[in-house]
Every structure is written in structure tokens, then in C-alpha cells.
Amino acid sequence: MNLIQGKTIEQWQQYATDKFNTELQGGTTEMANIKQEAESYETPQAKNIAELDKVSTELEVVEETFKEGEDDEFKLKIAKVDGIDYRVPVSVLKSLKEILKVKPNLKTFKVQRSGEGMKTAYTVIPLE
């Protein structure tokens, strides 16, 4: 029997179905107590474009606005690949712009990330 956080796959499927149906009706559903919710909580995060093996120059990018607290808003460039959000740092866009001036027919590229935190640097590598 496969257990995920103490529940079977069938229990999670039923939970998802019940939650979906309840939200359609404008209500809420009870599944776990606050301790269970806290222990199972994972902060949603977008992945980084550097995690992709290669990136098409035709990949659609949108700007999304996020809130942190009541007053702090910030905007991120996001690309969606197979339903997963990937953050596109502005420095990647700037580098790609310069590469496209020299190689306007570029189809794919790779992004390498080095460093971490405020010292993160991105290198755009043209592929084809």
C-alpha cells in the first residue's frame, strides 16, 4: 500500500475530488487539523529556467505580480513548460537580447547558473 503523509492514494484522490466539488459549490471541506496542515505545507516555488536542458527562443514568457505582505509587490517573468512555472531572470533576457543581435536565427539555448543568493550569475549559451 502506497502511503503519502499517512494517507493512501485513493484517500488523496477522494480528497481532491471532494475539495473540487465543494469549491464549485462555494463551500469548504475539512480534511486535516492545523498540525497536519502545517507539517505537510510546502511553500509554492517556481523553478528556474537554468533547470531546463534547453530552452526554445519561441517559449512564451509572461509577467506575473506577486505579493509579499500587505504592501510589497514584485513582478517576475515566468515561462511555463509542461505545466510547470520557471522563473526567467531579467539578466537572462538581457544576455539573450545581445546574442540575438549577432545570431538572429537562434532556435535554442541553455542557461547556466552559478553562485547563490544575491551573487547568482547566469550565462546564456547558444545551442542551435
Q: Is residue 45 part of a domain?
A: no
Res 1: pLDDT: 45
With the C-alpha atoms ordered 7, 13, 14, 17, is the resulting torsion angle positive or negative? Answer: positive
Q: Say if residue 65 is in the same domain as residue 22.
A: no
User: Cα separation of 76 and 53, whole Å?
Assistant: 21
Q: Say if residue 80 is in the same domain as residue 121.
A: yes
Report the Cα 97 to chain-centroid distance in Å.
23
Q: Say if residue 102 is in the same domain as residue 57.
A: yes
Q: Is residue 96 part of a domain?
A: yes
Tell me the residue type at 12. Answer: W
Stretch 88-93: mean pLDDT, rounded?
96
pTM, two decimals, is 0.64
Q: Say if residue 33 is in the same domain as residue 79.
A: no
Q: Which domain holds residue 110?
A: 53-126
User: Cα separation of 35 and 49, whole Å?
Assistant: 34
Mean pLDDT of the residues in the chain: 83
Res 2: pLDDT: 46
Q: Is residue 47 part of a domain?
A: no
User: Cα separation of 27 and 119, whole Å?
Assistant: 45
Q: Which tens digit of pLDDT belongs to each residue from 14-65? A: 666 666 655 555 555 566 788 888 888 777 667 999 999 999 999 999 998 8
Tell me the residue type at 115. Answer: G
User: Quick one: which H or E segment has residue 64?
Assistant: strand 61-68
